[in-house]
Amino acid sequence: MAALTQLSLAEARDGLQKKDFSAKELAQAHLEAMSAAKDLNAFITETPELALAAAEAADARLARGEARALEGVPLAVKDLFCTEGARTTAASHILDEFVPPYESTVTANLWQAGAVPLGKTNLDEFAMGSSTTTSYFGPVENPWSPQGEGRPLVAGGSSGGSAAAVAAGLCLGATGTDTGGSIRQPAAFCGVVGLKPTYGRCSRWGIVAFASSLDQAGPMTRSVRDAAILLGAMAGFDAKDTTSAELPVPDYEAALGAGVRGLKVGIPTEYRAEGTSQATVDLWEQGKAWLKEAGAEVVEVSLPHTKYALPTYYIVAPAEASSNLARYDGVRYGLRVEGEDLADMYRKTRAEGFGAEVRRRILMGTYVLSAGYYDAYYLKAQKVRTLIAQDFEAAFEKVDVLLTPTTPTPAFPIGEKEDDPVAMYLNDIFTVPASLAGLPGISVPAGLGPEGLPLGLQLIGRAFDEATILRVGAVLEAAAPAMTPPRMAP
């Protein structure tokens, strides 16, 4: 049997039920792996006491034959989900001592299903970034590194800690959040599966807000099946989030294995973006071939407004963020830096509490909402957003799913692109359009580039049709070579 940390979530679940090992053993193996991999900086807060207590409770339930969907499965949670009694920082100095008196709906769902909480993973500050280098707690290192070179790579972002923890075998799965690519891009960089569900599929209640009309929680795992299992436990209508969808959650795991025969796969012409690596282009071709071989019909489709997606995103998301982050004012909780008067206290608290990227986005957002600029920026962006959504609607009249690269390039060294925000933002060029349209997307690790670094392919589906992208993702996964990072926990 493989080491406990190398099992898939599904294997661990089944092993627990068969009493091959206990939940406590499984939790301990992961806690040890976390200790041994501290240099990756994947976790901001580890919760071993909570994990062991939950594992013991899970063992008791397993013994009684009352196991729930995730009974005893050790998971990591992005430190953007509020966890009752466990520090929740959003990787920001302004919240670095914040302990919520409440539990987010998504994590509450996971604990209700019997999952074991290992800790809170590192991320870009307030989920703003594509590299997890904007964290107040320092960057996350990608468990993958280029062949013959020791220079650490970024894990991607913003859910870089979750991606690295999953890839390195520090947990069986993790939650992420995705606003413009924050699940899919780090998943691609770390060679794991990351799924951003349809906007409204998972409750946003208790997740520190970045951009409310885009934020969505989703699973990060080492297999497509694991993503299906984890999504099933996370998702569901929540009366506390009026943007969550009042729809039943399908059995995603059961939808796997149906293959792609008879499905139509669209290839968006406009995704042949400048700056895309040859390896990425080649892998995309390979992906098409795999799906064709498996019986799918592959057709070219057009999403004509694609080139406006990134600028649109960088108006809408900062605008919402500038307002969402106004509550961090030093008055009620979080950091307060005293000042001479109220305005001075605000200035000092927010200047010291927020990092450079967060401040940049607050400034951008404030600017685009200002009197005299609102129509030219925010209102225009909303109109373009509608056009982008209409592009997808038209495409989905012809096809069932879209296949694209997840990112233009593989992971880059930590420290690169730091002085060029636009270059950093271009990481999300393939993930942002689906975010703006609220559609589900999954990144599946599909191969290694010339430097031996993982690359991902993205599948975008119809609204609330996560089942289809999981089903197609499983086909890609089966065709792709197995990928284990050099830093996988033994």
Partner 1 sequence: MSMIEGTTGAWEIVVGCEVHAQVVSESKLFSGASAAFGAEPNTQVSLVDAAMPGMLPVINAACIRQAVRTGLGLKAEVNRISVFDRKNYFYPDLPQGYQISQWNHPIIGKGVVLVDLPDGRSCSIGITRLHLEQDAGKSLHDQHPKQTYIDLNRSGVALMEIVSEPDMRDAEEVGAYLRKLRSILRYLGTCDGNMEEGSMRCDVNVSVRRPGEDFGTRCEIKNVNSVRYAMQAVEYEARRQIDIIESGGKIAQETRLFDPSKGETRPMRSKEEAHDYRYFPDPDLLPLKLEEAYIEEIRSALPELPDEKKQRFVTEYGLSPYDAGVLVSEQEYAAYYEAVAAGRDAKLAANWVISELFGALNKRGVGIDASPVSAGALGELIGLITDETISGRIAKEVFAEMVETGKAPGAIVEAKGLRQVTEPGAIREVIAKVISANADKVAEYKAGKEKLFGFFVGQAMKETGGKANPKLVNEILKEELGK
Q: Does the annotation mark 322 as catalytic?
A: no
Min dist. Cβ of residue 360 to partner 1 (A): 17
Question: Where on the chain is the footprint of partner 1 (CB under 8 A)?
Answer: 81-82, 88, 90, 95, 98, 100-102, 104, 204-209, 211-213, 239-243, 319-320, 322-323, 325-327, 329, 331-333, 342, 346, 366, 369-371, 374, 378
Which of 34, 47, 217, 59 is CA-nearest to residue 117?
A: 47
Q: Which residue lies nearer to partner 1 by CB, 68 or 348? A: 348
Q: For partner 1, which is the closer residue by CB, 145 or 179?
A: 179
**DSSP string spanning 275-310?**
T--HHHHHHHHHHHHHHHHTT-EEEEE--TTGGGHH
CB of 311 to partner 1, least distance (A): 18
Helix (H) or strand (E) holding 30: helix 23-36
Start-to-end CA span in the chain (Å): 12
Residue with tokens 């989703």: 218
Q: Which of 92, 131, 158, 159 is catalytic?
A: 158
146-157 exposure pattern, b = at least 16 Cβ within 10 A, e = fewer: beeeeebbbbbb
Q: How far is the CB of 88 from partner 1 (least distance, A)?
A: 7
Q: How far is the CB of 245 from partner 1 (least distance, A)?
A: 11
289 or 342, CB closer to partner 1?
342
Nearer to partner 1 among residue 213 and residue 390 (C-beta): 213
Q: What angle do CA 285, 287, 293 make, to 5 degrees?
A: 105
Q: Work out how close the CB of 96 gets to partner 1 at its nearest, in angstroms, rounded to a whole number.
A: 13
The answer to whether 78 and 120 are in contact (CB under 8 A) is yes
Please, which residue, 104 or 158, has the CB nearer to partner 1? 104
Distance CA 161, CA 131 (A): 10
Q: How far is the CB of 215 from partner 1 (least distance, A)?
A: 9
Q: How far is CA 6 from the centre of its chain?
A: 21
Active-site entry in 135, 162, 182, 443:
182
Q: Which of 8, 22, 24, 78 is catalytic?
A: 78
Closer to partner 1 by CB, 28 or 366: give it: 366
Least Cα distance to 176 among 200, 157, 199 occurs for 157
Whether residue 213 lies in the annotated active site: no
- Tell me whether residue 158 is one of the annotated catalytic residues: yes
Beta sheet of 116-121, edge-to-edge order = 43-46, 116-121, 74-78, 173-178, 216-221, 193-196, 441-448, 454-461, 401-405, 264-268, 297-301
Q: Which two tokens stand for residue 267?
A: 């290839």
Known catalytic residues are 78, 158, 182
